[in-house]
Structures are given as structure tokens and as C-alpha cells.
Amino acid sequence: MSQVSEPNHYDDNEVVNSSNNLHFEDILNARLSRRQTVFGGISATTAAVFGTLSLSACAGGQDSGLESKPLALGFSAVAKNRLDVVTVPDGYQVSILHALGDPLHFGDESWKNDGSESADSYQRRIGDGHDGMWYFGLGEDGKFAADRSDRGVLCVNHEYVVQPFGLHPNGLTPGSQRVGSEVDKEIHAHGVSICEVKRSGTNPDMAMVRGSRLNRRITSATPMAFSGPVRGSDLVKTKYSPDGTMTRGTNNNCGNGYTPWGTYLTCEENYLNVIARSAGDDARRSAAEVRALGRYGLPQGRVSPYRWDSAGTDDLFARWNSAVTAETAAGDYRNVINTFGWNVEIDPFDPTSVPVKRSALGRFNHEGAWPAPAVAGQPVIMYSGDDARNEYVYKFVSKALWDPKDIGGGLAAGAKYLDEGTLYVAKFNADGTGVWLELTHGKNGLDASNSLYPFSSQADVVTFVRLAADSLGATKMDRPEWGGVNPLNNEAYMTMTNNSNRVALSATPSGNQLKPDAANPRYYEDTFTSDSGSTRTNRGNVNGHIVRWKEGSSATAFTWDIYLFGAEAAAAADVNLSGLTAVNDFSSPDGLAFDPRGLLWIQTDDGAFTDVTNCMMLAAVPGKVGDGTTVTAAGGTQTRRGALATADNLRRFLVGPKDCEVTGIAFTPDYQTMFVNVQHPGEDGTLANPTSTWPASQAGAAAGRRPRSATVVVTRKGGGPVGTV
């Protein structure tokens, strides 16, 4: 593969936020001057902002009324390990639901372990790089049945094509031009798998229903519609859709979302994996266009890691180059970059439905989209994060008020709640308060006179929302990944996976480097030893943290703290700020989800602790904003962290196989069946020298079997709720 630049997972290495928003220095200065008042621990301000410590002793820290039924973890912690299997607690069992290449229907042969499956067949096979997912109960009438646990539809994202490229017979074919059939296969291996799943008898384990009429693949070539502000806009007109109402494909679908009405949201993250722009293209663009393309990481002359556009002049390949080649946008794919970076709504119960890109939620590296619990007569609220270093946290508030009659309403309900509303971006103040800044055309300077971009419409604002957020002074975060809302108290959580771009307070930042701030407070170093014995030093916020916030009395105010800091148990106290021990130490939180009981599940995608343990999933009984105290983080920045972790409120539940990321979580409404995705097992190996043979290795020795991303089903032997007593 040496002649080919290998299409690695585009891992947010390009920092493109060069805005000079207030950040750590300004926040730090403000914080230091107000430290006594804010963090003195005795002032009225402190109590108002962070609450008191009195609830931290309650299991779960729920508000009164729920304390009589405390949540309690009910399993023995799984030890850190580097085995090539999924490890779960004693009394639990694991089965494989589906893996890369498994056929959804009966017309295709089983996966053969040699990459011989045709590109075409991947329109009917499970894709690669399992990631976000969600379970929807399925009723006897074929419609959404929120309370059904024995039969459902599982939607799974396929984020990217995983090394060592077991999709192909011999990995990638070397050469400067990609092979068309390999690109075709990769286009069809991305996207989403939808399949019916079912229990057998009283066993909570579940299997895929091969051949179900609901089984469906959505790929990077599937026709889909635009809705919301960009529909029909000049910004998304292409040769494929000269009127800007349609596009093809969803790509690099990372985390997910779901809606109260029973549809799936798949979220487009690292779409720059596949989009190139020819050298010399700037000369054919306006200055504002060039600035916007730069802010979204696509300078002229950029070669995409996957180089799909190199495979030929056929429209299916050429469309991946976002260059001006014709008189008008209706004659080329200059706007292809603007057709990705959205949240896409899919109706899992209608296999003929056309997925819809819901543009009102903004365009960025969407990790996912997570609703607050829907309340009749109140707006629907969706939180999302932009996963790149120094990017932002967003909130969407629907214009329409929630009507439970819309449950089961499919994409029509989606249009009602997701096409009109108000988008906000978060500013985390040093004093523990926060503000949601409104991203609406004509407000807050978001108009044609704006110096960053001449916003002429809401279509401009949502398409270039990073520039709009820069303009408003949003807070740059340590790579926002997954979020979730605690159903017991409506507080929102979001992982900040790590950030090597932070520098010491005493340093002079260069380029896009940032000093720590209160919401992203740590700077430190950690030594990592590889399997071959070489060592490297990781710097910055190496292990990540989880921010949480509580909405205030107005739509634009909130208070926040840091629920949990990732760390190795042996790390210094100002790194291991949450007091992690052997039963719960972890690094780089990424996936996160609350189940309906209020149990919090945390998954890791790590490259700092993997010399000691494979990536993992933990279960937590979280408290509430303000249940902790003021601390000074490694590097000298002061912040507010939540209550300390203990063996009772945070415990390791699962460890994945070698070289994997544990990502994606779903559960049945009775909590007896849990789905977990394992992505890129064996990614550090090659086809000739594999480091993993998972999932085949789950059943024992499996020499010669290629590693595959897969969905596992975790249940208790004999049944019972997962995670609790």
C-alpha cells in the first residue's frame, strides 16, 4: 500500500478554527479576578450557580421525589485487559448481531473472509466501521411501538472504511488512481444499516431477521432530500440537483440521534475523508467563499484521504471534487462540500422513504444529535457537538411545540419539529454560568455586513454556522463528541474526548493552539509505550473530560460543571481530578448515552491508555450539576468538578477487543438487551500480520479470520436488567 496515501480515519487533525474568540486567557483572567466570589464556596453566587453539596450523597443525586428509588450498579467491575475479545461482567453474555459484510437478505451469499464480495452487494450487506445506533420497538402493524422490547428495528451507522481494509481482497490496490470497483464498494460500505431484530422466546438475546422487508442499506450514493433553510438555496445546487432540493448519499456517519416521534438521525462527521478541491480553484471563487471553504477545512489543492474522485470521470467519482468546472453550479459539483455535514433523518419503518437532511440544525462535523425528554406543549430540544479541536456545542429549539400525537408520525413529524426553530451555540463563562448565543440571520450581527461572512439568509447562517459561531464568541472546546440528557433531571452531558492542541498557561500559543480555560481546564503530559516498545509523550488534555449543564429559567442561560475527568488511576491528583481507581479508570470518553432509568453509559476511543487496556464502556450513576467542588487542574487552571467517582457510582462494564474503539449504544425499553458497537478491531495490524481476529475470536482460536467491525448484544444469563441489581 506504500504508493497509496492510506485513507486513514480522518481524525480531526486539521484545526481550522482560527477565530480569536475569547478563550482561556480571557476567561482565566476573568476567573482569577473573581475567584474569591465565585469559588469561595460560601457566597450566594456560589450557591446559586452550583447548588449545594447536599444532594451528592443521594444515589444518583436525583431531585427529591426520585430519591426513594435509588439507582444502583449491580455488577462486578471488569478488569482492564488487552484480550482479543469483548469482556463483560460475570453473569453476562455476549453474542454477535452482525458484522461487516453480513447479508441483510437471502439473495446474497454469506461473507467469505476474502474480500470477494461485489461492490453492488454492499447495497444489501452490513457496512464497515459500526458507530452510532438506536433501537426502535416494532409493533405487529409494522409501525413504531416505543414499548416493544422483544422485536424492533436497529439502525447502525457505518462511519468509514476500516484498516486493514478487509473489505478488499488484498487491501487497497496501490497506485495514484483508485480502482473504480474498490471505490464503488467503499461508497456502498458507508452510511447506515437498518435491520429487524428479534428475541427468541424469553431469552433476551436478539438476532437479526434476515430477509425482513424493513432491512435496508442507506449508502453514500442513496438519493436524499434537503429540508429547512438550505432547501433550494444556491449553496446546495449541483449538477445532480440543479434546483438544490436533492443530493446523493450520507457519509462518515459517526454518532447518531433519535427523535421522540420514532425516527433515526444519522450525523455526518468527517466528510472531508472523501472531498477534494482542485488546485487553482480559489481564482474561480469569491473571497467569502474561499474563507468559508477554509473554515471547513477544504483549501484549494486538497487531496482527500480516500481519493474517490481519482477513480475516473464518471459522475459517481467526479462528484467528490468540490471544484468549479462549469459556468454555473448547476453544471458541476463545486457545492458538494455543502451537501455534507448535516443531520439526516431516516424513517426506519418505511423502507421506501427518502432520507432528509435537516439543515436547520446547522452544518459542521456533527458527532450526533440528542433530544431532551419531550414535554407536551414545550419545544423539542436537540443538543449536538462539532467534533474537531477547538469547535463548539450547539442547541436547537423547535418552533413547534411537542404534541405526543405525533409519535409514529415519521418524516412528516420531522418536518414539523426540525425544519423550523432556533439554533444556538454555547458560551461557557468562567464563573460556571453559560449563555446560548442565537444563530439567527439578522440578529447578533449575522447579516450582510458581518466581517467573517456576508450572511444574506438563514441558509447562509446554517451552512457556514462555524463562522457565525466564531462571530458570536462561542467557547472553543476539547473536541465535543457524544451527548445525552439525564431523563431524571434534564441535565445535559457531553464528552470532550481529548485535545492535543492545548498548551501550558506559561506557553506562547502558536497557530491555533489554545491555553486551558475553565471548561477545558487541563494541560499535562503522559508517556505511552507501544507494543514494539517505543515510547511517545502525549501533551494537552490527554484523557478528556465530560461537561454537563443545567438549563436556566430562560432559553439562553445555563449553569455548568465538569462531571468527570478521564485519567489513569496512578496519575497525579491534579490530573486524576475525579479520583478514579482500578475499577473505573478510563481515557478519552467518546460515546455516551443515558438509558431511560437514568443510568449513564460512557464509551472510549483512546490512544493514550491503550498500552494498558483496550477501549471500554463504563456504567455510571451520575449526580447533578454542582454536586462537587472547586479544584485546580494540572497546568494551574481552576474549575469546578462534580462529585468524586467511587466504585458505587462509576464502574467498568465492558472491555473491547484489540485495537478497537467501543462506540454506539442502544437498549430495549425493558433494559434486558443492550447493543454495543465495536469499531475497527485490529486497526494497527495488516492483512498479512493481523493484531486481531475479532469477532471470530470471541468464540475461540480464529487464525486467518479477518477482523471486522460488528454489533454485539449483551445480556444477563437468564435475563434481567442490564447494569443494575
595 vs 605, which CB is nearer to ligand FEO? 605
Shortest spacing between CB 616 and ligand FEO, in angstroms: 16
> Which stretch, 163-171, 205-213, 583-591, 714-722, contacts Ca ion (CB under 5 A)?
583-591
Q: How far is the CB of 440 from Ca ion (least distance, A)?
A: 29
The one-letter amino acid at 143: K
Q: Give me the least distance between CB of 671 and Ca ion, in Å please.
A: 24
Dihedral sign for Cα atoms in the order 264, 269, 274, 278: positive
**Nearer to ligand FEO by C-beta: 282 or 387?**
387
| 470, interface contact from ligand FEO, Ca ion, none, CB < 5-8 Å by kind | none
Q: How far apart are CA 341 and CA 324, in angstroms?
A: 20
The CB-of-663 to Ca ion minimum distance in angstroms stands at 5
Confirm or reject binding of residue 590 to Ca ion (CB under 5 A).
yes
The nearer residue to ligand FEO, 300 or 520, going by C-beta atoms, is 520
Q: Which of 148, 130, 257, 153 has its CA nearest to residue 215?
A: 153
Of 159 and 282, CB closest to ligand FEO? 159
Nearer to Ca ion, 254 or 676 (CB): 254
Q: How far is the CB of 157 from ligand FEO (least distance, A)?
A: 9
Residues 238-267 that bind Ca ion (CB under 5 A): 254
Residue 460 in contact with Ca ion, rule: CB under 5 A: no
Least spacing, CB of residue 615 vs ligand FEO, in Å: 12
Residue 256: CB minimum distance to ligand FEO, A: 11
CB of 498 to ligand FEO, least distance (A): 11
Residue whose CB is less far from ligand FEO, 604 or 637:
604
The pairing of beta strand 545-551 with beta strand 492-496: antiparallel
Smallest gap, in angstroms, from Cβ of residue 522 to ligand FEO?
Answer: 20
Q: Which residues bind ligand FEO (CB under 6 A)?
A: 159, 254, 269, 367, 387, 481
Hey, what amino acid is at 218? I
Site for Ca ion in 309-348 (CB under 5 A): none
Stretch that binds Ca ion, among 521-529, 582-590, 647-655, 697-705 (CB under 5 A): 582-590
Distances (CA, A) of 33 to 30, 38, 68, 430: 5, 10, 42, 10
Look at residue 473 and give its three-state secondary structure: coil
Cell of 275: 472531498
Q: Which residue has the cell 486539521?
A: 14
- Quick one: which segment of 72-80, 167-175, 587-595, 638-646 binds Ca ion (CB under 5 A)? 587-595
Compare residues 23 and 366 and give the one whose CB is closer to Ca ion.
366
Q: Assign 636 to helix, strand or coil.
A: coil
Residue with smaller CB distance to Ca ion, 19 or 541: 541
Please identify, using beta-carbon distances, which residue of 497 and 649 lies nearer to ligand FEO.
Answer: 497
Rounded to an integer, what distance in angstroms lies between the CA atom of residue 258 and that of residue 500?
31
**Least distance in Å: CB of 159 to ligand FEO?**
6
| Distance in Å, CB of 604 to Ca ion, minimum | 9
Q: Are 223 and 248 in contact (CB under 8 A)?
A: yes
- Determine if 568 is a binding residue for Ca ion (CB under 5 A): no
Q: Are 603 and 590 in contact (CB under 8 A)?
A: yes
Q: Rounded to an integer, what is the distance from CA 14 to the centroid of its chain?
A: 17
**Residue 108 contact, options ligand FEO, Ca ion, none, Cβ 5-8 Å cut-off depending on partner type:** none
Q: Nearest residue by C-beta to Ca ion?
A: 605
159 binds, among Ca ion, ligand FEO, none (CB under 5 to 8 A by kind): ligand FEO
Residues 688, 171: contact at Cβ < 8 Å? no
**Least CB distance to ligand FEO at residue 286 (A):** 31
Beta partners for residue 450, in sequence order: none
DSSP category for residue 161? P
| Interface positions, 532-561, toward Ca ion (CB under 5 A) | none
- The reply to whether 159 sits near Ca ion by the rule CB under 5 A is no
CB of residue 367 to ligand FEO, shortest distance in Å? 5
Distance CA 384, CA 321 (A): 28
At residue 455, the 3 state secondary structure works out as coil
In whole angstroms, what is the distance from residue 353 CA to residue 413 CA?
Answer: 14
478: contact with Ca ion by CB under 5 A: no
For ligand FEO, the closer of residues 27 and 469 by Cβ is 469
Choose one: 18-26, 64-72, 466-474, 601-609; the region binding Ca ion (CB under 5 A).
601-609
Bridge partners of residue 678, in order along the sequence: 662, 710
Burial class (CB in 10 A: 0-12, 13-18, 19+), 373: middle
Residue type, 46: T
Contacts of 105-108 with CB under 8 Å at 24 or more apart are 105/210, 105/211, 105/215, 106/210, 106/211
CA–CA separation, 548 vs 559, rounded Å? 9
Contact residue for Ca ion among 309, 419, 526, 605 (CB under 5 A): 605
Query: Residue 241 or residue 343: which is nearer to ligand FEO going by CB?
Result: 343
Instruction: Please choose which of Ca ion, ligand FEO, none residue 309 contacts, taking the beta carbon within 5 to 8 angstroms, the exact cut-off set by kind.
Output: none
Q: Is 606 in the site for Ca ion (CB under 5 A)?
A: no
**Residue 367 backbone zone (phi > 0: left; psi -120 to 50: alpha; other: beta):** alpha
DSSP-assigned beta bridge partners for residue 437: 425
How far apart are alpha carbons 387 and 269 in whole angstroms?
Answer: 7
The β-bridge partners of 666 are: 675
- Based on its alpha-carbon atoms, the radius of gyration of the chain, rounded to whole angstroms, reads 24
Given the complex with Ca ion, which of 220 and 256 has the nearer CB atom? 256
Give the C-alpha separation, 692 to 355, whole Å: 35
Using Cβ positions, the residue closest to ligand FEO within the complex turns out to be: 254
Residue 464 vs 482, nearer CB to ligand FEO: 482
Joined grid coordinates for residue 562: 465538569
Tell whether residue 12 is a contact of Ca ion (CB under 5 A). no
Q: How far is CA 337 from CA 220, 288, 618, 635, in A?
A: 13, 15, 36, 38
Which residues are at the interface with Ca ion (CB under 5 A)? 254, 481, 590, 605
